[in-house]
Each structure stands twice: as structure tokens, then as C-alpha cells.
């Protein structure tokens, strides 16, 4: 099976290419090879290559950037998704679209399942939700994978931000106003591979097990690598996180688990595996 991964040099795309290459022919394309906002070029590239599946990890993910430039967010997260859906439909390929817990407002006390009402509170969430909808309308052979708070092997990921803050500032400052499931990209890559194997199209929530706040996460990372710096709780505005975010965006992943018979490991297992791979921890 030939698979094109778009956004291949991003945090998820990197792990996905590595994981899928064990079993499939994988072409990793990023902005240098394909600009998904360009409809004709996207169509031509996909038509020439004729993959059986396309996985779209390309996005404008930075929440503040999406708010400051909503048109750009829309072009990449919505029109870009539509362009890939049109190209996929043209060659009868499967399309896997990576989506987000930010399509919800985070006001629910219970975990969101795939049928829960969406109500994004910022431009990122709005553009990603619109991306889901255009794919549903355009391409029958789609999987929409809603995930959350990714950490993987890219330089500025959340784990490294914590490690660097401890090292440089001697204290880690974190807001305490969000509950989510931190998800290790390598575990998510494996889950996406399992979904493709199943061949049952639709929307799936896929995150690591468990949920925590940024403060809990930072404390856990520091504890695991044996650092004694403290974690200071601060207001989001103090670290220039002025754009509204969902407060409790925990996803119910039962549909994915039921279909595949597989659950992602707990986020703490993901953190430990990440730290071992980065040689920051020498046991799992």
C-alpha cells in the first residue's frame, strides 16, 4: 500500500512516517513538496502519485497565530483539507484527517464522544471543525481522527519546554485551567495504522489514556527526570496565552477501542517512552 503523509516534517508527521514505513511504502511531503492551499498543484501531485491513502497532518496549529490570522488558518486548516479531499476522491484514495479536541467548548463535565455537540471557542477550533465538515461532504472514504495535546520528538514540544524552563529559569510556570489527555505522537501513529487496517470509515476520538492539567504534566516530567525545580501555577495571560481555550476537553475513545481492540497507553507511559528515546531517562 502506498501512503502519502502530508505535513510529514511536523511533530506527528515525523513519527507517523517512521511508524508506517515499517509496513507500507510511505511518501512524506511537507510544505517544500506540496502546499495544500494550492488546489491545482495538490490535485496534480496526488494524481501523479496515486497513493491508496493520504494522511493529512498539515495544519496551522499555533492557537495565537490562528487568532491573529484567521484567513491563513482557514486557508490551511479548511481549504487545504478540502483540496486534499477533492484530490483523494479523484483517485479513489482513503483520506485520514487529523482533527482536534478544540472543536469543543470544554464546558461539559463528561468526556466528549464522537456525536457530542461541537462549539469551538477560537479560530483554530473553528477552522479545524470546518475542515472536518468539508471532508465529510467531499470524500466518502475518510477517517477523521480527533486527538489532543500532542507531544513528540520536535524541538519545541511541551516536554522540552518544561525541561528547558527548569534548566534556564530554575522554575516552570504553568497555567492550571485546562484538563486534556496529553498524547504521545508515536502511540497515535500506531493507532492510525490500526485504523487504516480496519477499513471502517468515520470519526474516531484517539488520545492517550488519562487526563491532566499542564501543572500535573510538568510535575510528572520533572519528577521522572529527577529534577527538583518547582512548578509555579500562573494565570494563562502571564505566558501570553490570551486566546480562549476549552477548559475540559477530554475525549471518550471507546469507539476506536471497540473497533480495533486497542487502547492507547496512559499519557505517563508516553512521557516515559519519550524521555527514554530522548535519552533523558534510562528506564521505562
The residues that touch ligand NAP, with contacts defined as CB under 6 A, are 6-7, 9-13, 30-31, 34-37, 57-59, 61, 76, 80, 98, 100, 128, 147-150, 154
Rounded least distance, CB 8 to ligand NAP, Å? 7
Rounded least distance, CB 170 to ligand NAP, Å? 26
Rounded least distance, CB 228 to ligand NAP, Å? 28
Nearest Cα to Cα of residue 132 among 46, 52, 60, 202:
202
Rounded least distance, CB 188 to ligand NAP, Å? 8
Instruction: List, in sequence order, every residue forming a beta bridge with 6; answer none if it has no partner.
Output: 29, 56
Torsion (CA) 117, 179, 132, 76 in degrees, nearest 10: 140
| 6/231 with CB nearer ligand NAP | 6
Classify the C-alpha dihedral 18-19-25-29 as positive or negative: negative
| 31/225 with CB nearer ligand NAP | 31
Q: Distance between CA 62 and CA 157 in Å, rounded? A: 12
| 209/229 with CB nearer ligand NAP | 209
Beta strands in the chain (DSSP E): 2-6, 25-29, 53-56, 94-100, 142-147, 150-151, 171-175, 183-184, 202-205, 230-234
| 132/224 with CB nearer ligand NAP | 132
Cα-to-chain-centroid distance, residue 183: 8
| 45/231 with CB nearer ligand NAP | 45
Tell me which residue has its CB nearest to ligand NAP: 10
Rounded least distance, CB 84 to ligand NAP, Å? 9
Amino acid at each position: 500500500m502506498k501512503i502519502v503523509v502530508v505535513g510529514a516534517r511536523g511533530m506527528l508527521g515525523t513519527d507517523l512516517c517512521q511508524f508506517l514505513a515499517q509496513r507500507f511504502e510511505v511518501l512524506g511531503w511537507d510544505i517544500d513538496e506540496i502546499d495544500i492551499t494550492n488546489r491545482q498543484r495538490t490535485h496534480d501531485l496526488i494524481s501523479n502519485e496515486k497513493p491508496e491513502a493520504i494522511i493529512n497532518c498539515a495544519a496551522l496549529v499555533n492557537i495565537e497565530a490562528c487568532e491573529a490570522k484567521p484567513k491563513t488558518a482557514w486557508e490551511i486548516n479548511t481549504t487545504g483539507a478540502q483540496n486534499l479531499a477533492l484530490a483523494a476522491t479523484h483517485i479513489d484514495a482513503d483520506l485520514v484527517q487529523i482533527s482536534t479536541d478544540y472543536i469543543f467548548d470544554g464546558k461539559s463535565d463528561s468526556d466528549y464522544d464522537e456525536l457530542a455537540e461541537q462549539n469551538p471557542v477560537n479560530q483554530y477550533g473553528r477552522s479545524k471543525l470546518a475542515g472536518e465538515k468539508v471532508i465529510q461532504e467531499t470524500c466518502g472514504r475518510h477517517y477523521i481522527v480527533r486527538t489532543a495535546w500532542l507531544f513528540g520528538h520536535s524541538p519545541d514540544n511541551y516536554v522540552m519546554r518544561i525541561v528547558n524552563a527548569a534548566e534556564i529559569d530554575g522554575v516552570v510556570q504553568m497555567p492550571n485551567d485546562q484538563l486534556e489527555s496529553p498524547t504521545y505522537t508515536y502511540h497515535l501513529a500506531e493507532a492510525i495504522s490500526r485504523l487504516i487496517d480496519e477499513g471502517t470509515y468515520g470519526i474516531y476520538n484517539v488520545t492517550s489514556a488519562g487526563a491532566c492539567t499542564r501543572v500535573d504534566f510538568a510535575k510528572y516530567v520533572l519528577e521522572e527526570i529527577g529534577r527538583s525545580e518547582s512548578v509555579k501555577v500562573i494565570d494563562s495571560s502571564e505566558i501570553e496565552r490570551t486566546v480562549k481555550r476549552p477548559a475540559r476537553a477530554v475525549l471518550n475513545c471507546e469507539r476506536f477501542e471497540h473497533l480495533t481492540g486497542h487502547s492507547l497507553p496512559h499519557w505517563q507511559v508516553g512521557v516515559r517512552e519519550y524521555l527514554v528515546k530522548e535519552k533523558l531517562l534510562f528506564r521505562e
